[in-house]
Amino acid sequence: MFMADATVSDYDLSTETMDLEQTVKPKKVTFALGVKLRVLSTRGVLDLFQCPVCSCSMYPPILQCSNGHTLCSKCKHRVNNRCPSCYHEINNIRCLALERIAQSLDFPCSYQSHGCHEIFPYYDKLRHELQCKFRPYDCPCAGSRCSVTGDISTLLAHLTNDHKVDLHVGCTFNHRYVKSNPLEVQNATWMLTVFNCFDKHFCLHFEAFELGTEPMYMAFLLFMGEEDEAKDFSYSLEVGGNHRKLIWQGVPRSIRDSHRRVRDSHDGLLIPRNLALFFSGGDQQELKLRVMGRIWKEP
């Protein structure tokens, strides 16, 4: 069984709709030769481009049934090639009129309610949303296959209430990780602790996994925010015993990076099992690792 402590604590590691005549509002009018007229779409127009199945914006090819009901191509197989509105069969008939209208429209970012007020041509909107800094974050709790997404405050409440993750205030920490049988690491186990530091939040990950055939332990820090802001901070991790010491210093990665991506890049404190047992006293019977760390803001 894995346990960890921060100061004195131990943790178990094992386990609205508008009429159509009101929908098109001119954004900019120009009579210059060769310049296309673009209009800012309103709520009614947005509804025309919303897939009735997944509720996402439809992008070409936009399909339609014989009655003119539209559907995004990705959802065709989800409804067994049957229109969700009239249940007529959906073939590969494209709604070319709707696709052409889209080329003259400007759309707000889908994350407008989260704070993004950018407006884009239809085909630029999708590319923007893939990188929009207001898009929801994935839950950083590795190993739980959790599908919860949200902003930072939502994730903090989710982590503490649903995953029972410990939240600590401070920029230094001292954790003790214990495993009664360090030889059993076939099933990777994870530990997550969240720190409130400089009015920001950081996730400390600790886990056992196998690198090839060699059992390893790894600790690393993730920043709960965007990558450009994460670069304002640095952190160090230190583990040791038997008068030896191993130190790691780096920059926290954003939680936009998946846990697996960070782990597989080895961007953190890596401790081979044999070395971990040596730090633990060398009796090969029990893992006793004390990991100390510090977070600071770069000038």
For residues 182 and 1, give the distance between their C-alpha atoms in angstroms, rounded to a whole number.
Answer: 9
pLDDT the model gives residue 258: 85
Length of the chain: 299
Per residue in 239-287, pLDDT tens?
Answer: 988 888 999 999 999 999 988 899 899 999 999 988 888 888 766 667 8
pLDDT at 37 > cutoff 70: no
For residues 280 and 94, give the distance between their C-alpha atoms in angstroms, rounded to a whole number.
Answer: 66
- Which amino acid makes up residue 267? D
Decide which of 2.60.210.10, 1.10.357.10, 2.40.40.20, 3.40.30.10 is the CATH code for 2-14+136-297: 2.60.210.10
pLDDT the model gives residue 35: 41
pLDDT the model gives residue 20: 31
Q: State the pLDDT confidence band at 200, using cuts at 50, 70 and 90.
A: very high
pLDDT at 47 > cutoff 90: no
Domain ranges of the chain: 2-14+136-297, 20-131
Strand order in the sheet with 287-297: 11-12, 2-4, 172-179, 287-297, 233-241, 244-250
pLDDT the model gives residue 184: 61
Summarize the confidence of residues 219-225 as an average pLDDT: 96
Tell me which residue of 99, 105, 107, 103 sits closest to 125, measured CA to CA: 107
Cα-Cα-Cα-Cα torsion 222, 224, 229, 233, nearest 10 degrees, comes to: -40
Which of the two residues, 161 and 122, has the higher pLDDT score?
Answer: 161
Which of the two residues, 186 and 149, has the higher pLDDT score?
Answer: 149
Which of the two residues, 235 and 41, has the higher pLDDT score?
Answer: 235
Q: Which contacts of 76-79 are long-range, i.e. CB under 8 A and separated by 24 or more positions?
A: 78/53, 78/54, 79/53
Range with the poorest average pLDDT among 20-24, 123-127, 162-166:
20-24
H/E stretch holding 122: helix 122-131
- What is the CATH number assigned to the segment(s) 20-131? 3.30.40.10
pLDDT the model gives residue 283: 66
DSSP at 128: H
Average pLDDT, the chain: 81
pLDDT the model gives residue 284: 63
pLDDT at 135 > cutoff 90: yes
pLDDT at 238 > cutoff 90: yes
For residues 13 and 203, give the distance between their C-alpha atoms in angstroms, rounded to a whole number.
Answer: 15
Q: State the pLDDT confidence band at 144, using cuts at 50, 70 and 90.
A: low
Tell me which residue of 291, 137, 135 sits closest to 223, measured CA to CA: 137
pLDDT the model gives residue 273: 86
Q: State the pLDDT confidence band at 193, using cuts at 50, 70 and 90.
A: very high
User: pTM value?
Assistant: 0.71
pLDDT at 14 > cutoff 90: no
For residues 208 and 22, give the distance between their C-alpha atoms in angstroms, rounded to a whole number.
Answer: 59
